[in-house]
Every structure is written in C-alpha cells, then in structure tokens.
C-alpha cells in the first residue's frame, strides 16, 4: 500500500514543477487511499479554486472542517476559499466560526 504522506510530498513536487493538474490528480489519488488525509483536502481546496472549480474547492474545504472541527485554521481556510469563489456571506460565517473557536467557544 502506498504511503499517503510520501504521496503528498510527490504532489507538492509536481506542483513545484508547474503541473497543477498533475498535482490535483496525485492528491485525489491520496484520498482514494485515505479520505481523512487533511493536508490533501486542504491542498485540493486551494488548487481546485485556482483551476476554476469553485464547488469542488468548497467541498474539500468543508471536508477539512468536518475532519478538524475544533481547528480555527480549518474555518479560516474555508472562509478564504468561499471569498475567492465569490460567496461572501458564507465566507463571513466561516470566519466568525474561526473566531469563535479561537475565543474558546463551540
């Protein structure tokens, strides 16, 4: 079985070579092995948004918040993805959630 963490490093190297589509494919391969790999979901959210696939990007950013619901960065990233995809009310809601978590709220 392939090691998702090593595959993630391979995906980063592919991205660094300028092949964003290849990077996305490698990240999706990781998720076919381990759907709970947070770093792959985080990276896919960013890269899919850059590739003009906002709904897919948002889905991965939401998945990060499901996997790490007490991490304020999860909601901060979701907010940024929503903002870049033109969904400002959702971005504001996600950022408010991040601030609430940082302040110790649920």
**CATH assignment at residue 19:** 1.25.40.10
**In the predicted model, what is the mean pLDDT of residues 35-59?**
97
Domain tally for the chain? 1
Evaluate whether 61 touches 87 at the Cβ level (below 8 Å): no
Give the C-alpha separation, 63 to 9, whole Å: 21
**In the predicted model, what is the mean pLDDT of residues 52-56?**
97
**In the predicted model, what is the mean pLDDT of residues 36-48?**
98
% of the chain residues with pLDDT over 70: 97
**Reported pTM:** 0.93
Say what the pLDDT of residue 47 is. Answer: 97
**In the predicted model, what is the mean pLDDT of residues 90-99?**
97
| Residue numbers of the domain that contains 81 | 4-102
Distance from the Cα of residue 104 to its chain's centroid: 23
Instruction: Give me the long-range contacts of 28-31 (CB less than 8 A, separation at least 24).
Output: 29/2, 30/4
**In the predicted model, what is the mean pLDDT of residues 62-70?**
97
């Amino acid at each position: 079985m392939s090691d998702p963490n090593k595959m993630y490093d391979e995906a980063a190297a592919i991205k660094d070579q300028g092949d964003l589509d290849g990077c996305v494919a490698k990240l999706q391969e990781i998720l076919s092995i381990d759907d709970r790999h947070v770093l792959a979901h985080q990276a896919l959210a960013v890269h899919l948004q850059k590739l003009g696939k906002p709904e897919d990007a948002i889905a991965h950013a939401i998945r990060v918040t499901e996997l790490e619901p007490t991490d304020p960065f999860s909601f901060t990233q979701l907010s940024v993805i929503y903002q870049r995809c033109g969904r400002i009310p959702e971005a504001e809601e996600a950022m408010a959630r991040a601030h609430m978590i940082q302040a110790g709220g649920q």
